[in-house]
Every structure is written in structure tokens, then in C-alpha cells.
């Protein structure tokens, strides 16, 4: 007798019934760029199909996202002026609090997640405060600023704050500030395992956050390391992270899978700007089928252990899912 695994592959219906991984739109988070100002809706050249919006234009854009079936957004703020200490990052009237006010008014059910970092707000483009001659980013001096930023987002209605700076101890500092401010229900989704990756290239164009000197290797993780990722997860869970995240996505599926095995909290995966732009570029040239590649990538992240998938393709994915246009 031959054992025939092909029996369960012979048609679409049997494949659908027996598939091991399922996607749901409730897993998707859509990252969006919010720019200070009014009436702004501008293309991001390195990320075809993505735009920067001012807070007043945001509800129109989010309407399309929500009607596609996505109920969570991750907001990045682009201030008008940047300075050494990134003071706009923790301005209660800054770009993110303004965006949150708009969104909470128009979409009370929408899950609003905010990126907490300084790099979009500092004139040097680093995620923390550099010090001295060599510009080494000062971990402990950065913590109170991140805590202030998270608190300003929570006050304006953020449901989840997501620190992406990779300073040690920031989850604890943020959790303490939120609790002290009475925001005990605001969750922390930590970018726990964030590698110093070249896949963030298009994002830095989108956010104008390329470091003016040096790079982020003294705070983001070394791509060669795996056990260190487990340590970062343990620390963030101890410090009170409600959700942990691995970033980038596809090049780090092994990390995602190991993190899923040990994490007591939900695990997110961030399919980053470079992953998005590579798919866009190749599909624009007709070299790959965009829909099939995007779906395959999303299933791969889910298969490796992602409970939450953060992707610039979230509205498309949700649309394909709801219309039954995802075929295997």
C-alpha cells in the first residue's frame, strides 16, 4: 500500500478543510504615517500605495481601511519641527494626540496603537538621546522621554502603545508612567526583538528618520543572534509587556517560531517597509504575482507563530479574505 498525502491536496475544498493555518482580519494591524499640518495627503515614493496624511485627512483614509475589514492601526507621527531631545514626541498637542482625537471621534471601535520612539522627532534621527563626543545613545536619559511620549498617547486615547526604540528598561518605565497616570488599561506592545535591519530603508524615507550620524547597531539587535532574542522577550515580559513583537518578518521566521514557543503573551510579527517595497517593485515589473506572494508571506508569518501581523498590505489582505479571493 502506498501512503498518499496527495489525497488531501486533490481539490480546493479538501485543501481548505485540512489546512493547518488560518488567517483572520482581526489579526491584522495597518501602519499609517501621520504628518503635522492640514490637508496633507502625499505619496511615499519608496512605498508605492502608501501615503502620509495630516490628522484632518486621516479619517477618510481610515474609512477605507475599516471598510476593508481591518480594525487596528499603528500610527507613526511626523512632526513639523525636530530637535535634539525630540520634544514633539511628548507634546500633548503633538501630531499623534491630534490624530488620536480625530480617530476616536470618528471610529470609537477602532484599535489605536501608537509607535513610541524618538527617531521621527529628533534632529539627529536616533531613537534616544546621544551624548558626548561619539554620540553614543544614552539609555537611561532616554527612558523618561519615552515614558512621557507613551503617557501623552494614552491621555489622547491610545489603546496600545508600542515602544520601538530598543532602550533597555523602557517597558518598565512606560508601564510605571501609565499606571501612575491612571492608564492601567492601556496595553504595551513591545517591539521586543527588533533587529538592526536594512529592511527598514523605505520607512526611513517615509518618516525622514535616517540617523544623521552612525547607525542603530548599539541599540537594535544583531541579525546574527537568536538566543539574545529569547532574553529580550523574557525581559520585556518581566517588565510588563502585554504583547511582544518580532521585526522584521520573513527574514526572521526562525526567531518568530522560537519566540512563540516560549512567550506567555501574544506574539506580533512586523512585515516591514522593505518587505513591502520589494514585493511592490517586483510585482510592478510583472515578475511576481502580488496577491499570491502577499498571501503566502502572511500565511508564513502565521504558520511560524504570529498571533498578530502588522503589514502595509493589511487592507488588501482583509479584502481578499472577505471576498474569498485567497486561493491555495
Instruction: Return all residues near 108 (Cβ < 8 A) that are at least 6 apart.
Output: none
13 or 196: CB nearest ligand PBG: 196
**Cβ closer to ligand PBG: 203 or 320?**
203
Question: Closest separation between CB of residue 5 and ligand PBG, Å?
Answer: 37
The contact set with ligand PBG (CB under 6 A) reads 115, 117, 119, 127, 164-165, 200, 203-204, 272-273
CB of 328 to ligand PBG, least distance (A): 27
- What angle, 0 to 180 degrees and rounded to 10, lies between the N-to-C axes of helices 170-180 and 139-155? 40
Sign, Cα dihedral of 37, 57, 208, 187: positive
**25 pairs with which residues across the strands?**
none
The distance of closest approach from Cβ of residue 192 to ligand PBG in the complex, given in angstroms and rounded to an integer, is 13
Nearer to ligand PBG, 51 or 204 (CB): 204
Smallest Cα–Cα separation from 305: which of 259, 248, 271, 272?
A: 259
Which of 153, 155, 258 shows the shortest CA–CA distance to 164?
Answer: 153
- 301 by DSSP, 3-state: which? helix
Residue 247: active-site member: yes
Of 16 and 162, which has the nearer Cβ to ligand PBG?
Answer: 162
Given a contact cutoff of 8 angstroms between Cβ atoms, the answer to whether 25 and 69 are in contact is yes
| Residue of 98, 148, 247, 260 marked catalytic | 247
Active site includes 148? no
Alpha-carbon distances, residue 209 vs 125, 126, 177 (angstroms): 5, 8, 26
Kindly state the smallest distance separating residue 165's Cβ from ligand PBG, in Å: 6
**Which is nearer to ligand PBG, 181 or 208 (by Cβ)?**
208
CA angle at residue 255 from 253 to 256, to 5 degrees?
60
Among candidate residues 35, 82, 98, 194, the one labeled active-site is 194
Please state the closest distance from residue 200 (CB atom) to ligand PBG, in A. 4
Angstrom distance (rounded) from CA 259 to CA 194: 12
Q: Would you give the distance in Å from CA 207 to the centre of its chain? A: 13
> Which positions are annotated as active-site residues?
194, 247
Amino acid at each position: 500500500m502506498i501512503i498518499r498525502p496527495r489525497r488531501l491536496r486533490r481539490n480546493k475544498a479538501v485543501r481548505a478543510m485540512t489546512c493547518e493555518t488560518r488567517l483572520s482580519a482581526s489579526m491584522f494591524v495597518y501602519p499609517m504615517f501621520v504628518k503635522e499640518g492640514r490637508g496633507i495627503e502625499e505619496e511615499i515614493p519608496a512605498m508605492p500605495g502608501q501615503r502620509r496624511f495630516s490628522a484632518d485627512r486621516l479619517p477618510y483614509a481610515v474609512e477605507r481601511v475599516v471598510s476593508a475589514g481591518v480594525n487596528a492601526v499603528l500610527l507613526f507621527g511626523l512632526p513639523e519641527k525636530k530637535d535634539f531631545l525630540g520634544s514633539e514626541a511628548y507634546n500633548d498637542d503633538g501630531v499623534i494626540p491630534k490624530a488620536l482625537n480625530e480617530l476616536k471621534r470618528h471610529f470609537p471601535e477602532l484599535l489605536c496603537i501608537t509607535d513610541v520612539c524618538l527617531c521621527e522627532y529628533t534632529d539627529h534621527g536616533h531613537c534616544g538621546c546621544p551624548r558626548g563626543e561619539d554620540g553614543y545613545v544614552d539609555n537611561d536619559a532616554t527612558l523618561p522621554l519615552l515614558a512621557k511620549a507613551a503617557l501623552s498617547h494614552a491621555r489622547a486615547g491610545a489603546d496600545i502603545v508600542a515602544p520601538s526604540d530598543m532602550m533597555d528598561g523602557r517597558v518598565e518605565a512606560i508601564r510605571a508612567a501609565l499606571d501612575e497616570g491612571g492608564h492601567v488599561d492601556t496595553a504595551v506592545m513591545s517591539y521586543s526583538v527588533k533587529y538592526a535591519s536594512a529592511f527598514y530603508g523605505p520607512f526611513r524615507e517615509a518618516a525622514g528618520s535616517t540617523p544623521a550620524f552612525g547607525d542603530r547597531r548599539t541599540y537594535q539587535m544583531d541579525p546574527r543572534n537568536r538566543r539574545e532574542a529569547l532574553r529580550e522577550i523574557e525581559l520585556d515580559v518581566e517588565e510588563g509587556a502585554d504583547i511582544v513583537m518580532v521585526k522584521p518578518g520573513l527574514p526572521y521566521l526562525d526567531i518568530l517560531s522560537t519566540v512563540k514557543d516560549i512567550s506567555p503573551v501574544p506574539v506580533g510579527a512586523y512585515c516591514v517597509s522593505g518587505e513591502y517595497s520589494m514585493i511592490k517593485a517586483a510585482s510592478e515589473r510583472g515578475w511576481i504575482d502580488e496577491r499570491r506572494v502577499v498571501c503566502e508571506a502572511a500565511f508564513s508569518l502565521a504558520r511560524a507563530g504570529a498571533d498578530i501581523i502588522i503589514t502595509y498590505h493589511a487592507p488588501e489582505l482583509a479584502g481578499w479574505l472577505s471576498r474569498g479571493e485567497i486561493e491555495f
